[in-house]
A = this chain, B = another copy of it.
Amino acid sequence: MSLRTAQRASLVDQVIEQLKEQITSGSWRLHAKIPTETVLAEQLGVGRNTVREAVRALTHAGLLDCRQGDGTYVRATSELSGAMARRLRTAEHLEILEVRRALEVEAAKLAAVRRTEGDIELIEAALLRREQAWVEAEVDAFVEADLAFHVAVVEATHNRVLIELYKDFSAALRASIAAAGAPLENGHIPHDAIARAIASGDASAAERAGHACMEHIAIALTDTAELLD
């Protein structure tokens, strides 16, 4: 047996896990204020120092944000999204797009094979919201629904590593999109072909549709870049 792989979870580590659970599960939303240290200590049945050490660890990891005299807030929903956001901010759109292509095309392919009925429903619901926001020209709702669609596709792969990686990525993406000003011309990009291919379980069609989608975005990107010149 290997040396100390399974060491007894310390109290602080348990608290860290529970706090992370609250964040990732959505019980504590982004920018929400979490209970005070005293309350948390009571609820979790541990001392305030234990809570503090856990909160400090998550603060250093970028998930929480403590303000003396005010409270503690959720800064990010995952540990990587903070670092990722920093990274993406200085990156070129084309570079980001190439990574998206890598992840999303593979995701579409896998999703076509593994999707459940529930996955299909989620994907189509997001697609519907996306189109509705498109005809109503609601930028925020459109971006949100667009990201929700892609996340739903990735979740249909049931690959936890891929899902978490992509969620971090898309969270950073949202910031990037919002900062750059969302180009609503992307509305006509054929997302429905992806959804259909996944629903029908056709992996190669899903791959082709994913590639086509990314190709459209690449073209839209270069178009807007030319417009800005």
How far apart are A78's CB and chain B's nearest CB, in angstroms? Answer: 8
> With an 8 A cutoff between CB atoms, is A98 at the interface?
yes
A99 touches B60 (CB 8 A): no
Contact of A60 among B60, B110, B179 (CB under 8 A): B60
How far apart are A97's CB and chain B's nearest CB, in angstroms? Answer: 9
Q: List CB contacts (< 8 Å) of A55-99 with chain B.
A: 56-61, 68, 79-80, 83-84, 87-88, 91, 95-96, 98-99
Chain B, Cβ-Cβ closest to A101: B106
> With an 8 A cutoff between CB atoms, is A18 at the interface?
no
B79 touches A83 (CB 8 A): yes
Cβ of A5: which chain B residues have Cβ within 8 Å of it?
179
Q: Mark A180-219, 1 if CB is under 8 A from B, else 0.
A: 0000000000000000000000000000000000000000
Instruction: Report how many copies the assembly holds.
Output: 2
A95 touches B53 (CB 8 A): no
- Interface residue stretch chosen among A27-35, A126-134, A157-165: A157-165
Known contacts A16-B60, A79-B83, A102-B105; decide if A161 and B95 are in contact (CB<8 Å). Answer: yes
Known contacts A57-B59, A98-B106, A98-B162; decide if A80 and B91 are in contact (CB<8 Å). Answer: no
Chain B, Cβ-Cβ closest to A79: B83
Listed by A's residue number, 20 A-B pairs whose Cβ atoms lie within 8 Å are A5-B179, A49-B52, A56-B57, A57-B59, A57-B60, A57-B61, A60-B61, A61-B83, A80-B84, A91-B160, A95-B160, A95-B161, A96-B161, A98-B159, A98-B162, A99-B161, A99-B162, A102-B103, A102-B162, A105-B106
**A residues within 8 Å of B by Cβ?**
2, 5, 10, 12, 16, 49, 52-54, 56-61, 68, 79-80, 83-84, 87-88, 91, 95-96, 98-99, 101-103, 105-107, 110, 157, 159-162, 164-165, 179
